[in-house]
Amino acid sequence: MGAVLGAAALGFAHAAPAATWLPPVRRLLPRLSGVGTDGHVALTFDDGPDPRSTPRFLDELDRLGCRATFFVLGEMLERHRALGRRIVRDGHELGVHGWRHRNALTVLPGRTAAELRRAAGLVAEVAGAAPVWYRPPYGVLSAEAVLAARRAGLRPVLWTAWGRDWTRSATPGSVLAALAPGLRGGATLLLHDSDCTSAPGSWRAALGALPAVVTACREAGLRVGPLRDHWPDVRQRRPPTFPTINRNFRNDDRVAL
Ligand SMILES: [Zn+2]
């Protein structure tokens, strides 16, 4: 009986969502939802690095004189390490988006934590420094993901405004229109520099919207930059240690609790 109850309790602990989608929670946990320094707008990109699209974003950001945070997928970064290094070399920062693009509430217990550790280790290796930020796929934080992030010294960060750039019908204009109400001091903007989990070619809408988004912010007197400038105090407080990569880990491995 005890074993049954134990398993049930573990199952619940794994599945319990952090309810991060709810506006009241966002008010209670403003940092988790991305609310940062007033006068600054954080620019973030998810799902890369992707050799078909990410270099275009890097070129455009360079032209705009703008830096950003890239929440990368481990399986993408493993295949495109040189591109990951270029992101860092260009002055941007890498965050952790997971190893594969999974909803934390639909995977086996233990899998999210193992994949998060693996992705964070790879980001540390490629960037030459431990990552600070974690954004779960779909913005879904399970209890396991929260705990794993904490153990890895990562801070979960969602977003305050998104461009809805992942849809087949997205255009630069629709992306700008989706973001416009949220272009205010302290905002964290979510865009995608890859279409690996969304409609083919949808990244072009985000790329096309970038100049107008950055210009709109600057005309409103707002600085645009990466998360490290959104909360300048965070980096100094973060733990110095970091888990190493388990090179024998495979995506198909069953992970036990
Ligand atoms: Zn994503």
Amino acid at 113: A
- Rounded to the nearest angstrom, the distance between the alpha carbon of 4 and the centre of ligand 1 is 35
Residue 104 phi/psi, 5° resolution? -60, -20
Count the Cβ atoms, other than its own, within 10 Å of residue 77: 26
d(CA 8, CA 24): 28
- Rounded to the nearest angstrom, the distance between the alpha carbon of 163 and the centre of ligand 1 is 13
- pTM more than 0.95: no
Could you tell me which CATH class the domain 17-231 is placed in?
A: alpha beta
Locate the domains of the chain by residue range.
17-231
- Rounded to the nearest angstrom, the distance between the alpha carbon of 237 and the centre of ligand 1 is 27
Beta bridge partners of 70: 45, 94
- Alpha-carbon Rg for the chain, nearest whole angstrom, is 18
CB 205 within 8 A of CB 171: yes
95 sits in which H/E element: strand 93-96
- Rounded to the nearest angstrom, the distance between the alpha carbon of 50 and the centre of ligand 1 is 13
- Rounded to the nearest angstrom, the distance between the alpha carbon of 13 and the centre of ligand 1 is 23
- Rounded to the nearest angstrom, the distance between the alpha carbon of 47 and the centre of ligand 1 is 5
pLDDT of residue 232: 84
CB 71 within 8 A of CB 57: no
Alpha carbon separation from 237 to 35, 50, 52, 116 (Å, rounded): 18, 31, 36, 21
d(CA 49, CA 79): 9
- Rounded to the nearest angstrom, the distance between the alpha carbon of 46 and the centre of ligand 1 is 5
pLDDT of residue 34: 87
- Rounded to the nearest angstrom, the distance between the alpha carbon of 1 and the centre of ligand 1 is 40
- Rounded to the nearest angstrom, the distance between the alpha carbon of 103 and the centre of ligand 1 is 10
d(CA 222, CA 38): 8
Q: Which residues of the chain fall below pLDDT 50? A: 1-19, 237-257
pLDDT of residue 235: 66
210 sits in which H/E element: helix 203-219
SS3 224: strand
- Rounded to the nearest angstrom, the distance between the alpha carbon of 167 and the centre of ligand 1 is 13
- How would you label 210-239 residue by residue, b for 16+ Cβ within 10 Å and e otherwise? beebbebbeeeebebbbbbbbbeebeeeee
- Rounded to the nearest angstrom, the distance between the alpha carbon of 124 and the centre of ligand 1 is 19
244 DSSP assignment: P
- Rounded to the nearest angstrom, the distance between the alpha carbon of 97 and the centre of ligand 1 is 7
